Structure 1
Amino acid sequence: MTVKIFFPTCCSPSENGLLIGRWLEEHRSAVVLAIVHFPFIPGNVKRYLAGLERETGLRLAVLGTWSNIKAQKDEQMESFLGDLKSIFIHRPWLRITREASIIFWDCRIEGVDEEAEEEVVLVYYDQRKVMLSELHDATEHSEIATVFDTVARNRTLFALDRYDEGPIKLTHWQSDGVEASIIVELCKQASVPLCALLSFILSLIFSVTRALGRKPLSFLWNKLSTCEQLGKRLDSLQLICGTKAAKDHTLFMRKASTLVSLLLDVILGIVLMSWLYRGDHIGQLANALMPVADRVAVELQGLLQWLMGAPAGLKMNKALDEVLGRFFMYHIHLWISYIRLMSPFIEVILWYIGLSACLGLSVALSVLSDIIALLTFHIYCFYVYGARLYCLKIHGLASLWRLFRGKKWNVLRQRVDSCSYDLDQLFLGTLLFTILLFLLPTTALYYLVFTLLRLLVVLVQGVIQMTINLLNSLPLYALVLRLCRSYRLAAGVKFRMLQQEHGKCLRLLMQINPLTYGKVLQQYRLPSSNLYPKDSWGALCKKLFIGELIYPWRQERDKQD
């Protein structure tokens, strides 16, 4: 049988003493946590271990003795260490000896069945890294997961300063930043009332937003990206300012990543705001906005004039082509009048909108997306008109085609059933089918042109929304932790053999394998509101073919409702 002993590297130079740790019976392994130095009183050691068991919930014990022989063996000390197993009764009893003259250690196991030959494997581990790391991709009851859990749950043991005067003296990993830890604790205590005050203010803001979120205002709020982003920002602030301690690792990482993402977003927004208000860039944007709007209107008028003629040499229905062209041309004139009416106030509006950048770059991008939606509202109207007319004709042709085949759509059963029609119905259906079929090319051409324009606008808004989602969902804290402290996010361990000699125990060094950056993004990615439907390319092409409207703001939950 093989017995694995996990020994902390920080305890290698320790003086003679007792091995404190946990025996894993199901894995036949021992996890050494600390070494108790001489002199000590056995009763104090037992009471100290009992207190640790109550705090950690783990069964800790004296596993054996540790001998660090610097010069030559002391027979009296060896005899004394051997007699300790009668005081601290534990089976098996470990006796680890390190001699300064050789690089190999001697490890013996006593108190087991003498007929069974025990093979000892001594595994060194970094106590600090194992305690601070979070193990992923490991089963709950595996040996490595149990070792990591044992070390992590004994933070109380490691919090004891090695220089403190107490009933016993221990050697284990101890951080040198005692003063820094005191400052951190004071900051934590001071942040509790501040977080409580911020939570109260945020609760009031949530009450106001819930009052404003009722109909009919809710219809408008759900269509504006700025309102969606502000709601997301309130949720993030409520998560950060919550007074409940993040005892779970996932919740802590989510809070930390949300805080870092929020700070970076605000910093980028302040940089953008400083650029806008320096050098009169807002005035320049306002002066450039009107010529662009006029240019777009002129280009649309030219496009309509081209469609009302013979586009690409195609012969269209003259009457329907003229009606549709004049209808859309009238909307362009209305839009030009609206833009010129708002032109004196454009710079003032942009000046106040620029202040939104202090809330973060994502809020400023949301405002930009809403501005693009308002400036291209006439294109959206053209698309809706063309799509509705085209969809009406497609459904009409499909229904009349079923009439020729003796079929009809059963609304109650949601299926196609057989049906018999008389001669008048067939004659009327043939007449309507012919009219719709010959009018379809003209309608389809207008629908195609305005759909392409609408898709161009949706593409620009989609790029902006992807940037916003990236700012909101990128786990920056986890990525920085993976870059600077890769052992904190462990995917597993690997063992490196140090040296081996016949008749001596095998010595291995346990090293931590960090998570890959891809798994870090997958594991700690923050939730983000996806404003665009996740349709496949096939579903999107089907919608475009039959004339269904594409709403970029529609969410998945809206479809389910």
Structure 2
Amino acid sequence: MGPQRLGPARLSGCLQRRTPGMVLKAFFPTCCATADSGLLVGRWVPGQSSAVILAVVHFPFIPIQVKELLAQVQKASQVQVSVLGTWCHRQQEPEESLGHFLEGLGAIFSHDPWLQLCRERGTRSWSCKATYHQVSNALNTPTEDQVMLIFYDQRKLLLSWLHPPTELPDCQIGDTTASTGGLADIFDTVARSEVLFRNDQFDEGPIRLSHWQSEGVEASILVELAKRASGPVCLLMASLLSLLSAASACCLGPYILSRLWKLWPLSFIRSKLSTCEQLRHRLKHLSLIFSTEKAQSPMQLMRKANLLVSMLLDVALGLLLLSWLHSNNRIGQLANALVPVADRVAEELQHLLQWLMGAPAGLKMNRALDQVLGRFFLYHIHLWISYIHLMSPFIEHILWHVGLSACLGLTVALSILSDIIALLTFHIYCFYVYGARLYCLKIYGLSSLWRLFRGKKWNVLRQRVDSCSYDLDQLFIGTLLFTILIFLLPTTALYYLVFTLLRLLVITVQGLIHLLVDIINSVPLYSLGLRLCRPYRLAAGVKFKVLEQEAGRPLRLLMQINPLPYSHVVHTYRLPSCGCHPKHSWGTLCRKLFFGELIYPWRQREDKQD
């Protein structure tokens, strides 16, 4: 009689779903293991044959009130929450009467499959089964499936964020990590059902629930006060920033201001000074932090938190540096030591040039060219020392105002230090440019004349080397010029080598400063602290621990969150930075050095995420 009541498609679907030996997975919160008897409220995931239990509705209750509660939760969270079965903490009634009672509840709430979880008080004995009412009515046979009981910490699962499976390895049951592909629905169900846990009217009304808040809400009065004050503070700071931008626009006008910044001297200076780039970078971060727009995703929220912690740490380190500089008159000591150091550097450079103008390392140099280059560079050193002594009365005041900039953050102070180093070593940069240009001119001249001897020439239009026939006069002039350049090359190459090494030394010091600025700007300190103190917040997957595996008893597992590795945390949440990074590879850098091309191995990072 049963099979005739079901259509062929429906019957085949039920039989396909009701495969012999099928095991269902029931995710049960550990906070409900000691709860009183009641109804299991949660979501059924048909694609995975899994049931996610969210709370326990305790007896006594009115069924219509339970249905109204589930309707409110579904409307608020867009999660198909329903009554999945019954939970019995202790077996105090006879089995037959309890079975009739459970059948009555199954008829009222009508969910297929209907879970029945029981635990006897004071023992470790569990009873788990799933009953299919539709299949039993159709085939007139008892249909029960085994249930695999998986315990999970509801609070950790609610607060955690499961990362995409593309970044994570696969895993299996044991001590390894589980694949996140099938766990996304589980995490998403618990996260979207937060209204069921947070709404106090459910606990204070006629329906009494047990969920993770039954063990107490993890909170702090300071955290709650910070949350309450964050809204007005962000609104105030956003208003101040908008007022500042409006005032600057009213003074000059937006069009005039933009055109002024694009003028050649200002645009050139702004692009070359690290301080301007760092201030622009921090101002953009400040506007993002105090923006009143709500974060659309956990990634944006985490980015705001990382920016806030990075700026707070930056300002704290800057204040420490400021207090150190203004204690014991250290700024005056630095100002008094700066001019003698500049004189000592100039004196060493003069000794180096005098050594090059003689017979360095016993090498025979072209004396005329050697004397011209040496006197040219000595004159530049004399001009630079005169400029330093002219500025010496104002150095202490300049350093005092530079020290005050540390209150804006340690990165601003380091950027100013990098710019000061660039200004103090500007003469070394000029020496390097002069030597590189002269050396590059000779190298390209020799390469062109070498092609002349082989009957070749460089085709500018086609960008290739073509064959060419030269007459006797051209070959004679080419041979003469090649001989002159080849004999002058060692002298030029020696000056180029020395000043290139000095330039690379300055670049290395600036690169270390930029690296420190980049670390402070880009390292996700909040995410790393969260990974250290609350590792379950950043989930890379889960791992299962076997609690019970005995014949005749259901398999019970404990699902634990596997935290995201520190390397993945840094890679995923790394902040955009205006710091510098290498522009050329080592091969390209060596090629440029050999041919005398100007090198700028550090360039500003192109921030595409801003």
Q: TM-score, normalised by structure 2?
A: 0.87
1:143 aligns with 2:182: yes
Give the C-alpha shift of residue 154 in structure 1: 1.1
Write the letter of the residue equivalent to 1:275: W
Pick the aligned partner of 2:481 from 417, 432, 435: 432
1:499 aligns with 2:562: no
Pick the aligned partner of 2:299 from 250, 253, 262: 250
Give the C-alpha shift of residue 80 in structure 1: 1.8
Give the C-alpha shift of residue 403 in structure 1: 1.6
After TM superposition, the structure 1 = structure 2 runs for residues 468-487 of structure 1, keeping only pairs within 5 Å, are 468-487=517-536
Question: Helix, strand or coil for the counterpart of 1:527?
Answer: coil
1:69 aligns with 2:97: no
Question: Helix, strand or coil for the counterpart of 2:584?
Answer: coil
Alignment check: 8 A CA contact 1:33 1:151 kept:
yes
Give the C-alpha shift of residue 378 in structure 1: 0.4
Partner residue in 2 for 1:522: 571
Q: Which digits, 9 at most, give the CA deviation of each residue in 1:127-161, with x for residues without a partner?
A: 00001011124269822111111111111111034
Give the C-alpha shift of residue 247 in structure 1: 3.2
Give the C-alpha shift of residue 188 in structure 1: 3.7
Question: Matched residues in 1 for 2:299 and 2:496: separation?
Answer: 49
Question: Matched residues in 2 for 1:479 and 1:414: separation?
Answer: 52
Pick the aligned partner of 2:104 from 83, 106, 111: 83
Q: Which digits, 9 at most, give the CA deviation of each residue in 1:404-430, with x for residues without a partner?
A: 222222222222222222222222221
Question: Helix, strand or coil for the counterpart of 2:27?
Answer: strand
Partner residue in 2 for 1:315: 364
Question: Matched residues in 1 for 2:298 and 2:344: separation?
Answer: 55
Alignment check: 8 A CA contact 1:489 1:514 kept:
yes
The 1:372–1:361 alpha-carbon spacing in structure 2 relative to 1, beyond 3 Å, is same
Partner residue in 1 for 2:55: 34
Partner residue in 2 for 1:14: 35
The 1:205–1:494 alpha-carbon spacing in structure 2 relative to 1, beyond 3 Å, is farther
After TM superposition, the structure 1 = structure 2 runs for residues 327-338 of structure 1, keeping only pairs within 5 Å, are 327-338=376-387
Q: Which digits, 9 at most, give the CA deviation of each residue in 1:200-249, with x for residues without a partner?
A: 14644886885653122010011011111111111110111111112311
Question: Helix, strand or coil for the counterpart of 1:371?
Answer: helix
Alignment check: 8 A CA contact 2:42 2:54 kept:
yes
After TM superposition, the structure 1 = structure 2 runs for residues 381-420 of structure 1, keeping only pairs within 5 Å, are 381-420=430-469
Partner residue in 2 for 1:176: 217
Partner residue in 1 for 2:145: 118
Give the C-alpha shift of residue 543 in structure 1: 1.0
Question: Matched residues in 2 for 1:172 and 1:163: separation?
Answer: 11
Higher mean C-alpha displacement, 269-278 vs 158-167: 158-167
Write the letter of the residue equivalent to 1:129: K
The 1:178–1:275 alpha-carbon spacing in structure 2 relative to 1, beyond 3 Å, is closer
Question: Helix, strand or coil for the counterpart of 1:437?
Answer: helix
Question: Matched residues in 2 for 1:367 and 1:519: separation?
Answer: 33
Question: Matched residues in 2 for 1:295 and 1:189: separation?
Answer: 56
Give the C-alpha shift of residue 117 in structure 1: 7.0
Partner residue in 2 for 1:213: 261
Write the letter of the residue equivalent to 1:152: A
Alignment check: 8 A CA contact 1:129 1:488 kept:
yes
Write the letter of the residue equivalent to 1:193: L
1:380 aligns with 2:429: yes
Write the letter of the residue equivalent to 1:331: H
Q: Which digits, 9 at most, give the CA deviation of each residue in 1:364-384, with x for residues without a partner?
A: 111111111111110000000
Write the letter of the residue equivalent to 2:380: H
Alignment check: 8 A CA contact 2:235 2:290 kept:
no
Q: TM-score, normalised by structure 1?
A: 0.95
Alignment check: 8 A CA contact 1:199 1:241 kept:
no
Higher mean C-alpha displacement, 98-107 vs 437-446: 98-107
Give the C-alpha shift of residue 48 in structure 1: 1.8
Alignment check: 8 A CA contact 1:500 1:507 kept:
yes
Question: Matched residues in 1 for 2:570 and 2:227: separation?
Answer: 30
Give the C-alpha shift of residue 16 in structure 1: 1.4
Write the letter of the residue equivalent to 1:528: S
- What root-mean-square deviation, in Å, do the aligned CA atoms of Structure 1 and Structure 2 show? 2.2
Partner residue in 2 for 1:191: 233
The 1:318–1:540 alpha-carbon spacing in structure 2 relative to 1, beyond 3 Å, is same
Give the C-alpha shift of residue 169 in structure 1: 1.6
Pick the aligned partner of 1:200 from 242, 257, 263: 242
Write the letter of the residue equivalent to 1:160: N
Alignment check: 8 A CA contact 1:472 1:526 kept:
yes
Q: What percentage of residue pairs aligned between the two structures are identical?
A: 62
1:158 aligns with 2:207: no
Write the letter of the residue equivalent to 1:29: S
Question: Matched residues in 1 for 2:334 and 2:83: separation?
Answer: 75
Higher mean C-alpha displacement, 25-34 vs 524-533: 524-533
Question: Helix, strand or coil for the counterpart of 2:128?
Answer: strand
Give the C-alpha shift of residue 73 in structure 1: 4.7
Alignment check: 8 A CA contact 1:321 1:442 kept:
yes
Question: Matched residues in 1 for 2:80 and 2:70: separation?
Answer: 9
Partner residue in 1 for 2:76: 55
Question: Matched residues in 2 for 1:410 and 1:201: separation?
Answer: 59
Question: Matched residues in 2 for 1:487 and 1:504: separation?
Answer: 30
Q: How many residues align?
A: 558
Question: Matched residues in 2 for 1:308 and 1:108: separation?
Answer: 96
